[in-house]
């Protein structure tokens, strides 16, 4: 059916988006007929001392991105994507990550505060057939984090094949926030693919300026998905797991909803919006109110950048004829303290131009770019002289001070670990570093557009005992564990 026929049909079926909207993004809501896959929660083995051991296996498999067309995809413990890991502050966790692929990979815990050796960056290689067993104690506020491979030069490919999963961290519960996984609290992993005739993902994630910008939008690996909701309020934990695409998410009827969390934790108070933008690697937690019996499409609208071309519908939400009452959204979420920048704070500048270097230097696994004293709060100034980039720092939490001198949107005022850096602009961050020291094992910072990260728009920093900065060697052997 062409667009005019669709609009006519949509008006007849009462599903057209708000008052004669001229939105060009309308797909047929009836096409959204595959139930949203909700990644299962991964059950840990609890040891004598309380350590919770989670087992992940990277493997190839077959899954149906288009219904009825099984194709090769990669996943953790299954054919595509991975289970959701859930752990609480104070938990001792251990991961056993086994690589059953035919090539080396790594698994990085994006958003996790942990020692560099456990971080799963490009130095923690897992050879085919090998198993890596990092362990740490969860010690950070409640947040929606995630995990994905990070082998240098191969991240774009491994993520595009399907290796990614969510990692939910719990802390004190906030009464009134929906929190029943798969009932009123859903993970939504947004990814775009280009699909060949036979339904398999195609395209070279290292080609062109941005790599992959797909025209098939998947949510949790499901194309044209619907999800049934049974409560008035529903929390969505949204993750942009795409290689390059930026989303501007809103509902077809432009209803408002509340942002309750950023990458690294809950906000101080809910912020009402009717749209939220997410670049690759970023997360946002939202709470949406539904009316009994209604259906509404979640969509992404085109922006003016190169990485947000096109309007696309993503997911149809179908509210049951009767909805369980939800408590009112809490006025306070207990969200983060402001990161206080000391008057003499170190300022570091990072210049993004082109797509394969930072400050003119291509990523080098054996070079330490920055040495940071443990516990420091610093100002990092990210200047982008060209087209779209973003910036992610491992291990830290940061707050956006300003973008070209302007305060960030209220909804982006919380603690984050990944931030959009618009073309030809400068973003200033107040960065809170952690306390795990290791002069010989670096953490990464990089553009999270995977094509850029893989081609060298990445650097390495170590965290060291304050006062020892000048004793640290600036070169390291390329580690393999």
Q: Which residues bind ligand C2O (CB under 6 A)?
A: 108, 110, 148, 150, 281, 392, 394, 444, 446, 448
Please tell me the distance from the alpha carbon of residue 99 to that of residue 152, in angstroms, as a whole number.
16
Which of ligand C2O, Cu ion, none interacts with 447 (beta carbon under 5 to 8 A by kind)?
Cu ion
Distances (CA, A) of 298 to 16, 31, 67, 311: 13, 14, 21, 11
Which of ligand C2O, Cu ion, none interacts with 452 (beta carbon under 5 to 8 A by kind)?
Cu ion
Report the nearest approach of ligand C2O to the CB of residue 456 (Å).
Answer: 13
Return the residue nearest ligand C2O (CB atom).
110
Among 123, 193, 283, 394, binds Cu ion (CB under 5 A): 394
* DSSP letter assigned to residue 293: T
Question: Which range, of 104-112, 339-347, 426-434, 435-443, touches Cu ion by CB under 5 A?
Answer: 104-112
Please tell me the distance from the alpha carbon of residue 424 to that of residue 422, in angstroms, as a whole number.
6
Is 112 one of the binding residues for Cu ion (CB under 5 A)? no
Longest Cα separation, the chain? 73
Which of Cu ion, ligand C2O, none interacts with 389 (beta carbon under 5 to 8 A by kind)?
Cu ion
Cβ–Cβ under 8 Å, residues 388 and 330: no
Report the nearest approach of ligand C2O to the CB of residue 281 (Å).
Answer: 5
Among 148, 258, 316, 389, binds Cu ion (CB under 5 A): 389
Output 225 or 444, the one with its CB closest to ligand C2O.
444
Among 52, 80, 86, 110, binds Cu ion (CB under 5 A): 110
Which of Cu ion, ligand C2O, none interacts with 80 (beta carbon under 5 to 8 A by kind)?
none
**Would the CA dihedral through 114, 118, 124, 130 be positive or negative?**
negative
Among 10, 185, 452, 454, binds Cu ion (CB under 5 A): 452
Report the nearest approach of ligand C2O to the CB of residue 288 (Å).
Answer: 26
Report the nearest approach of Cu ion to the CB of residue 383 (Å).
Answer: 13
Residues contacting residue 196 through CB under 8 Å, at least 6 positions apart = 202
Residue that has been written with the tokens 């992940």 in this structure: 56
Report the nearest approach of ligand C2O to the CB of residue 189 (Å).
Answer: 13
Closest CA to 192 of 177, 183, 205: 205
User: Nearest 5 degrees, angle CA 111-CA 114-CA 116?
Assistant: 105
Please tell me the distance from the alpha carbon of residue 54 to that of residue 397, in angstroms, as a whole number.
25
Closest CA to 479 of 437, 438, 451, 446: 438
Query: Cα 154 from chain centroid?
Result: 18
Which of ligand C2O, Cu ion, none interacts with 281 (beta carbon under 5 to 8 A by kind)?
ligand C2O
Q: Which two tokens stand for residue 248?
A: 């501007």
Report the nearest approach of ligand C2O to the CB of residue 162 (Å).
Answer: 15
What residue ranges bind Cu ion (CB under 5 A)?
Answer: 110, 389, 394, 447, 449, 452
């Amino acid at each position: 059916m062409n667009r005019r026929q669709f609009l006519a049909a949509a008006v007849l079926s009462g599903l057209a988006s708000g008052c004669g909207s001229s939105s060009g993004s309308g797909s047929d809501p009836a096409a959204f007929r595959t139930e949203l896959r909700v990644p299962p929660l991964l059950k840990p083995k609890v040891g004598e001392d309380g350590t919770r051991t989670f087992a992940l296996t990277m493997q190839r498999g077959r899954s149906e991105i288009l219904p009825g067309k099984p194709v090769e995809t990669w996943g953790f413990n299954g054919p595509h994507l991975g289970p959701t890991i859930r752990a609480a502050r104070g938990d001792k966790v251990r991961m056993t990550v086994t690589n059953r692929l035919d090539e080396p990979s790594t698994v990085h815990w994006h958003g996790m505060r942990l020692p560099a050796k456990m971080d799963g960056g490009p130095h923690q290689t897992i050879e085919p057939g090998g198993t890596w067993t990092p362990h740490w104690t969860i010690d950070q506020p409640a947040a929606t984090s995630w995990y994905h491979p990070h082998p240098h030069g191969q991240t774009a490919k491994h993520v595009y094949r399907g290796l990614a999963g969510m990692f939910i961290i719990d802390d004190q519960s906030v009464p009134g926030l929906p929190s029943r996984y798969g009932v009123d609290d859903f993970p939504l992993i947004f990814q775009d693919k280009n699909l060949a005739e036979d339904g398999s993902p195609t395209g070279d994630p290292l080609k062109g300026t941005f790599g992959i910008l797909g025209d098939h939008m998947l949510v949790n690996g499901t194309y044209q998905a619907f999800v049934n909701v049974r409560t008035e309020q529903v929390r969505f934990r949204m993750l942009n797991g795409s290689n390059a695409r930026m989303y501007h998410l809103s509902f077809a009827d432009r209803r408002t909803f509340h942002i309750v969390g950023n990458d690294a934790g809950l906000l101080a108070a809910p912020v009402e919006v009717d749209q939220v933008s997410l670049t690759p690697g970023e997360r946002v937690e939202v709470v949406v109110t539904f009316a009994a019996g209604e259906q509404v499409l979640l969509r992404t609208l085109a922006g003016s950048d190169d990485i947000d071309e096109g309007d696309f519908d993503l997911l149809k939400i179908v509210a049951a004829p009767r909805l369980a009452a939800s408590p009112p959204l809490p006025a306070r979420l207990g969200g983060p303290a402001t990161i206080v920048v000391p008057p003499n704070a170190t300022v570091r500048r990072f210049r993004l131009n082109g797509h394969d270097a930072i400050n003119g230097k291509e990523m080098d696994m054996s070079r330490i770019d920055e040495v940071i004293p443990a516990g420091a709060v610093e100002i990092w100034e990210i200047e982008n002289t060209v087209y779209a980039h973003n910036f992610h720092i491992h291990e830290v939490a940061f707050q956006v001070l300003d973008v070209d001198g302007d305060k960030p949107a209220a909804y982006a005022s919380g603690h984050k670990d990944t931030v959009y850096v618009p073309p030809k602009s400068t973003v200033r961050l107040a960065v809170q570093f952690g306390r795990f020291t290791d002069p010989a094992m670096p953490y990464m910072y990089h553009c999270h557009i995977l094509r850029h990260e893989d081609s060298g728009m990445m650097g390495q920093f170590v965290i060291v005992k304050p006062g020892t900065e000048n004793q640290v060697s600036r070169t390291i052997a390329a580690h393999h564990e």
